[in-house]
Structure 1
Amino acid sequence: MRRSRVVTAILWAGVVVLAAAVSGCGAYYPPHMRPLSSKTRALLAEKGMTASQPILIRVFKSESELEVWKKKDDGHFYHLKTYPICNFSGGLGPKLKQGDLQAPEGFYVVNKKRLNPKSRYHLSFNIGYPNALDRSLKRTGANLMVHGECKSRGCYAMTDAVIEEIYALAVEAFAGGQEKFQVHAFPFRMTTANLAAHTDSSWFDFWLNLKDGYDYFQVTRLEPTLAVCGGRYVVNGAFPAGKYPNPKRACPRYSKLPMVAFKPKSQGRAVAESSLAKPLGSIMDLHFGEITPVYNVMTLGPATPDLKAKGQKQAANGKKEKIAQRAP
């Protein structure tokens, strides 16, 4: 009799679980199939966006932030959300070789095949390192990701909740017809002030080149057209016969296409951070509204330099002139 009661209780428990699942009250989705939260969908609607519109991602190491932008029907990108980067390894500067544990910097492309629903780090997508520039400079490495679990060995690591949402946004965009999206990885926000604070870095000229792409997006809110030649990125360039140059050779003569400034339209009333800032729970500290980063500007050299310092100051002034020439 006792055994019969135990069997009956187990059967009833199974019926209850099945009924809950059928009713949708206990529905389970594997991580790569979890839909966007209702609050995130509400935010999309608030900003006049849809889940299926194309995306573009920007990463900023120093600020530990990842931005997701959405392309509206007018063809321009508008800011959707800024997510905190939980962890990344290495410091400022590009990845150079396999095993240096450095997170990449540059312009990368992600297609549907680079989504990994079976990642060892919850979910991930491969950003496409090495790209044409990396290969032309003989930089090595593979499997550089944006993934979950907040652990990094050369990747950009998010919390599991955050990567689920970013992954879902990518899946929705691909389902909507986007074939690939750009990932722009920067050492910091490429402002004149931030660059002026890093004129003594060996990566200054490389970062100055990254600023070309940063400025183009900032001014136009369009994906930059990118080519590689002469060991650098060429942004918004028009080449003879419309052919892209050989990444391993010097740049042929080319002209710069006009850069038309775009002023984003108002995205409606401001979103209250208290109501929408944590769409997936308190684990995610997300930011909304206008992006207003704070920058720390370092002073360059002593007030009374010696001859050596004077030479360094002249070099720094030359670099600042280069920055000013690229200012949008």
Structure 2
Amino acid sequence: MQLAEGNQSSPATFILLGFSEYTDLQVPLFLVFLTIYTVTVLGNLGMIMIIRVNPKLHTPMYFFLSHLSFIDLCYSTTVTPKLLENLVVEDRTISFMGCIMQFFLACVFAVAETFMLAVMAYDRFVAVCNPLLYTVVMSPKLRASLVAGPYTWGIVCSLTLTYFLLTLSFCGSNIINNFLCEHSVIASVSCSDPSISQVLCFVIAMFDEVSSLGIILTTYIIIFVTILRMPSAGGRQKAFSTCASHLTAITIFHGTVLFLYCVPNSKNSWLIVKVGSVFYTVIIPMLNPLIYSLRNKDVKESVRKLMNH
């Protein structure tokens, strides 16, 4: 039990270095991230509102898309405000519980996003391969279950990893060479042995990545085979275009995650890790609503109607 007492006797604080080594870039970075965050909030809230108010968009695909927007909004809000604050204040400390809470929430939404993209792949699979039965198969009950899954699993993964982080003890100054409280960096500044926690994190991350990518790849292989068998060129084009935005979102999200896991943990790679982290916590939540709205005729029409009102 000695480990758990370590962080009760003197509450540890962490210092998030963020991008503090680039003193000349603090203001430009603040403005860039503030712009990105504003676009993220407006884009994702806008997407949720448009889907809510337009009856034409009350279909399974947009139901899942509104949840993806909700996850992106929450994910970005967990990370970006603290990043913005650290770019303008000298004091870059974050309390132990603040750091743990940030990790907990970021983990919930990261895992939820991973599997929400897999759910959306399944939705596209049903739409392309069983178009006549699409609305029957994607019943409200199934949709609710498919949406509840990613959130529930996100909470389970996050609670497990957070519990093991709380068993570690922290002493002295805990300098985190990143702008967010990520599992690997919290574990690496612990003064007790973090190996169980690190192995567990690796296992969960690998399982999530492999299983969600497995679902996505399987569904898309079947989708492509089905599309290629379609007799009309128009039908093929329509089927491809319904999948294009989802494929773009998947490629960017999983590409970044895989890239980060492949980076060796050397001192030179800290900047790459930070840039990668910016990409999937700050930039991707902004890109998703843009990808879906720019490539989507129905969403564009809805926006136009709202503008004209």
TM-score (norm 2): 0.23
Q: 1 or 2, which has the higher helix percentage? A: 2
Q: 1 or 2, which has the higher strand percentage? A: 1
TM-score (norm 1): 0.22
Ranked by relative contact order (alpha carbons within 8 Å, sequence separation 6 or more), the top structure is 2
